[in-house]
Structure formats: structure tokens, C-alpha cells
Amino acid sequence: MSLSPFLEDYLDRDDFGAALRALAEPLGSELGLPARVDELGLVCPSVLLAAEQLKRRWPEMKTFLLGEGSPSTFVENGAEVPFTTRVGFGFYKGVILELAEPGVGSDIFGQTPNPEGRIVINHLGFAGRGEQLTRTDGGTRRDFADAMRAHRVDKRIDAVLDLLGFVGHIRIFETRARTQNVEIEFLDFRLFEDGGLKINYPAFLGGLVGWWQAHVGPRLLKLPAHQPLPP
């Protein structure tokens, strides 16, 4: 039985992060992925409308920090390509929420079917440091880059996003055929530069910036972009 692809069907679960982890199966068990997700990638027609709707229905959610532009690096299937989109970063029950519009230049978000125009789950994210995607859970250290290679899982996206001095290195693997139609992502947050000081996602600061955008403005942070986006 397939699981729901819609965000709203998980938000009221007692353990939100663990409920989402089920979408990684059966590959998740084969890889030994952690029991809870750290980040959730979501696709929607408009990050502005989605951020407003989510905050209104779930007020305990951090206010989304919203921006538009291009990652500083975006490599797809081994080739650098121009990619531009609008994104939003929030935080809820210990999980980073990343809203994204389909964008221009890549189909990584546009591939997620969304005939109803709702907020749809695109990928599950897990923290992993460096090229080896290293993390320690329950005292056991694992290099998930090795695990992905051993299970013949191809890396599709290797990207770096620099937002207000917080740098996220993102690696997305092509796993839809071996999960509940979601990709698996590993993310590594650093301060000031890729490979800089290791940090966790600054949820409080992101929510503060989001609150400032919502109440003072402008609501969208403009980053350098390779191409214009539709309104």
C-alpha cells in the first residue's frame, strides 16, 4: 500500500520525523537510514502562498524564510547547469521544511506529480558531513556515500546554496524507483563557505528572518539568478 505524498497528512503525527521516514522504504532499510528524517523537501505552486497557509494552520511552525535565485553551484548528473527557483525554509517538530517551486533549468522538483496543486513531498533529507556523507547515530559512525555506492544508487544533484552566510551542501540521489516515489538527500551545513565551520541548521535565526520578512519586508530575499522566473 502506497503512502500519502501530501505534507498535510503527516503534520499532526506525534513523531513527525519518524512518520516521514516510512517513505524511504524499502531502500531505507537496505541502507540503514536513520529512524527520523532531518529535512523534508516539498514542492508547491507558490512558496508565498504555501508559507502563509502552513503558518496559519500550524502556528507553532517557524515562520518561513523565503528567497529566490540560483544556487552558487548546481551540478546535475555530472554537468553544471543553470537552475533558478523560489524556496522557503521553515522548521517544525525537529524537521527542516524546504518549500520549492518547480523552477527553471532542471526537473529535480518539477518531476514530482502534483495535479491538485497541493504541497507534495519530493525528497527526504538526512544530515551527512563531507564527501563521505558521514554521520554518527547511537554511537555508530557510518559513511553513507559508501552505502549508496554499494547499493548502486546514483547521485543526481550536487549543489551548494549560500544564504546569508549559511552554506548548505546538498546531494540528492535518484531513488524514486526504490522508495515511495521520493528522492533521498544528504545535507551538510557550514558557516560562511563550503567546507567551513560545521553547524546545524539555524532554525531560530531562520524563523527570525522569516518573521522580519513577513512583518517588515520584503517577503522574498533576492539572490543572483541565472534566468527569470515566471510570476
Domain CATH for 202: 3.10.180.10
Complete DSSP assignment for the chain: -PPP-BGGGTTTSTTHHHHHHGGGTTHHHHHT--SS-SEEEEE-S-HHHHHHHHHHH-TTSPPPEEEEE--SEEEETTEE---BEEEEEEEETTEEEEEE---BS--TTTTS--TT---EEEEEEEE-BTTTTEEEETTEEEEHHHHHHHTT--EEEEEEEEETTEEEEEEEE--GGGTTS-EEEEEEEEESSTTSEE----HHHHHHHHHHHHHTS-SSEE---SSPPP-
Range of the domain at 197: 7-222
Q: What is the pLDDT tens value at each position of the chain, 231 positions in all?
A: 579 999 999 999 999 999 999 999 999 999 999 999 999 999 999 999 999 999 999 999 999 999 999 999 999 999 999 999 999 999 999 999 999 999 999 999 999 877 788 999 999 999 999 999 999 999 999 999 999 999 999 999 999 999 889 999 999 999 999 999 999 999 999 999 999 999 999 999 999 999 999 999 999 999 999 999 988
Please check whether residue 13 lies inside any domain of the structure.
yes
On whether residue 34 sits in a domain, the answer given is yes
Assigned domain for 84 exists: yes
pLDDT tens digits, 28-75: 999 999 999 999 999 999 999 999 999 999 999 999 999 999 999 999
Whether 227 is covered by a domain: the verdict is: no
What's the predicted TM-score (pTM) here? 0.96
Domain assignment present for residue 119? The answer is yes
Residue-level pLDDT at 1: 56
In a domain, 230, yes or no: no
Q: Is residue 88 part of a domain?
A: yes
Let me know if residue 228 belongs to a domain: no
Q: How many domains does the chain have?
A: 1
